[in-house]
Amino acid sequence: MTPFAARVVAWQRAHGRRDLPWQASRDAYRIWLSEVMLQQTQVATVLPYYPRFIDAFPTVDALAAAPIARVLECWSGLGYYRRAHHLHAAACSVVERHHGRFPTDAATLATLPGIGRSTAAAIAAFASGERGAILDGNVKRVLARHRGIEGWPGAPRVSGLFWRSAEALLPATSDCERDRQAIADYTQGMMDLGATICTRAKPRCDACPVADDCVARLEGRVGVLPSTRPRKALPKREVVVLLLERDGTLLLEERPPTGIWSGLRSFPEAPLGIDVRSHVLARFGVGVASESWLPTLTHAFTHFALTMHPVRVRVEPAQPSVNMPGVEWFDVDSALAAALPSPIRRLIRSLDAKAARAG
């Protein structure tokens, strides 16, 4: 091994995380689920979701056979819902193209929806001990500091530097089980270093196994590496969110199959400046008994910020049911059990809390 890799492996075996539920086997399907869930999501958030997801979809065949609505329902709350769509599409691809046998080599894994170069290498390392570099956010932070790599990691030139460094530091491998295990331990060790030692704020350099030759530590640049993304003002969008209520139920509609929150349930939206009563009557064919505006809510996506202006709309009694595709009345418990975006879930809970206080 390289001296760097040897220190990382020794540290991981002595101090790294070894009791995470997805570490118990080399089942590529289960490893893949965990890796996709962990993309841009902390371990603590994933821990309660992972066993529930395995219970619901114990095999790739079960996941492929499930309707996407059920997958989104089990994913609800994890965020970045495009991952759930990719997860379902990849499962279908494995069943159709690989006869339900989940690939364990990075080259094949990278052909599946939602699996990039780093994720493919991580799955292959854990499932079969295949040698390959990974570059998730935690690993980039370790490399930026240890190797003194400047520049935003997302820039093409800087990204190339990271990949070359990641590949150069890998341990060697062979067909023997010991070397395959070293690859898995090194891969996990790099993730663990970034997550628990070389953290964004207050890194624990005194506990780091590679601190002795860390460029950022030696040059006093730990606080400035890795470089942050150049600031760019997020475009802003604003919508009115209609919280229609009737006899203790809420009107939810299914979002379109593409775009933000695709396939999830949400409250209907309307443009700013509408006359709420006229809009609700024209769109849903029901009259409005009362309306009250709630505090605005802003949710940041990767490429824009969405400001929602919720309005609580009580439908007049004895109104006809709304007969529209994808639109349905839910009681509060059923609504909260559906696949909802996080801001919409918070809105429903706030309504439920207000109703409980009023009662």
Tokens matching residue 224:
């400035």
The residue behind tokens 């979809």 is 57
Q: Which of 35, 245, 253, 254 is catalytic?
A: 35
Report the DSSP beta bridge partners of residue 45: none
C-alpha–C-alpha distance, residues 326 and 114, integer Å: 27
- CB of 344 within 8 A of CB of 260? no
**How wide is the angle at C-alpha 119 spanned by C-alphas 169 and 225, nearest 5°?**
55
C-alpha–C-alpha distance, residues 261 and 344, integer Å: 11
Sign of CA dihedral 128, 129, 130, 135: positive
**Is 254 in the active site?**
no
Least Cα distance to 130 among 172, 77, 85, 73 occurs for: 172
Sign of CA dihedral 283, 289, 292, 297: negative
What is the longest distance spanned by two Cα atoms in the chain? 76
Overall residue count recorded for the chain in this entry: 359
- Which residues are designated catalytic? 35
